[in-house]
C-alpha cells in the first residue's frame, strides 16, 4: 500500500514540475577581466623624436583592455630641461587612461635634491598634477618637511597644509 502512495506522489510531483516553470538563476557577478599580456622583470621604454622619454622597470606587469598594473615598479622620467630626471618607486602602480595611482611605499626623487616619501600618490598625466591624502615626508637637500597631504601643479610646485619643517643651518 505504501508503494502505491509513493508512486502516486511521484506521478503528481512530476506533473506539477512539468507545468511550473523554474526561473534560471542569473549570475549577477561580473566576469573577472583577464590580462592580455603579462611581463615578468620587464623594462619598458617610451621613445619620442628626441630619444627615450620614460623608462619603467617592474617585477611584474599586467596589461588589460582598460588598465595596466605593475608591481614593485620604478619609473624614470626626463624633466623639461632634460638634465634632471624624476624617479618614482612604488609597490603597486595602476594606470587607467590618464590617471595613475601609486600605492605602497612611494618614493619620489627629483635629481639629487628633492625626495618625497608617502604611502600613496595619484597623478593625472593630462593635467600634470599629483596629490595624495596621507602623511608624507619630503627632503629638499638636507631640509626635512612633513605634512598631512600634498598637491603638485604642473610638475613644479608642491603645496601642502599643516607642514612642519626642519631647516639645517650652515655652521
pLDDT digits (tens, 9 = 90+) for 112-144: 888 999 999 998 888 878 889 889 998 888 888
- 86 is a domain residue: yes
- 127 is a domain residue: yes
pTM higher than 0.75? no
In 4-162, the DSSP E strands lie at 37-48, 51-63, 68-78, 85-96, 99-110, 114-124, 129-131, 136-140, 143-147, 149-153, 157-161
CATH number at residue 117: 2.60.450.10
Domain that holds residue 67: 37-166
Q: What is the DSSP letter of 162?
A: S
Q: How many domains does the chain have?
A: 1
- 152 is a domain residue: yes
pLDDT in tens, 16-53: 776 766 666 666 667 778 899 999 998 988 888 878 88
H or E stretch including 67?
none
- 84 is a domain residue: yes
Low-confidence winner among 9-13, 24-28, 67-71, 78-82 (lowest mean pLDDT): 24-28
**In contact, 76 and 55? CB cutoff 8 Å:** yes
Amino acid at each position: 500500500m505504501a508503494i502505491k502512495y509513493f508512486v502516486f506522489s511521484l506521478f503528481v510531483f512530476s506533473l506539477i514540475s512539468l507545468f511550473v516553470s523554474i526561473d534560471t538563476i542569473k549570475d549577477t557577478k561580473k566576469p573577472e577581466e583577464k590580462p592580455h599580456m603579462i611581463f615578468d622583470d620587464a623594462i619598458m621604454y617610451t621613445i619620442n623624436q628626441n630619444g627615450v622619454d620614460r623608462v619603467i622597470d617592474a617585477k611584474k606587469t599586467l596589461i588589460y583592455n582598460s588598465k595596466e598594473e605593475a608591481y614593485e615598479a620604478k619609473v624614470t622620467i626626463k624633466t623639461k630641461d632634460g638634465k634632471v630626471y624624476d624617479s618614482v618607486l612604488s609597490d603597486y602602480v595602476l594606470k587607467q587612461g590618464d590617471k595613475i595611482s601609486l600605492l605602497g611605499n612611494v618614493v619620489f626623487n627629483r635629481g639629487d635634491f628633492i625626495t618625497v616619501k608617502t604611502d600613496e600618490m595619484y597623478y593625472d598625466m593630462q593635467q600634470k598634477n599629483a596629490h595624495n591624502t596621507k602623511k608624507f615626508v619630503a627632503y629638499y637637500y638636507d631640509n626635512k618637511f612633513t605634512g598631512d597631504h600634498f598637491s603638485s601643479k604642473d610638475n613644479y610646485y608642491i603645496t601642502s597644509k599643516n607642514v612642519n619643517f626642519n631647516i639645517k643651518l650652515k655652521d
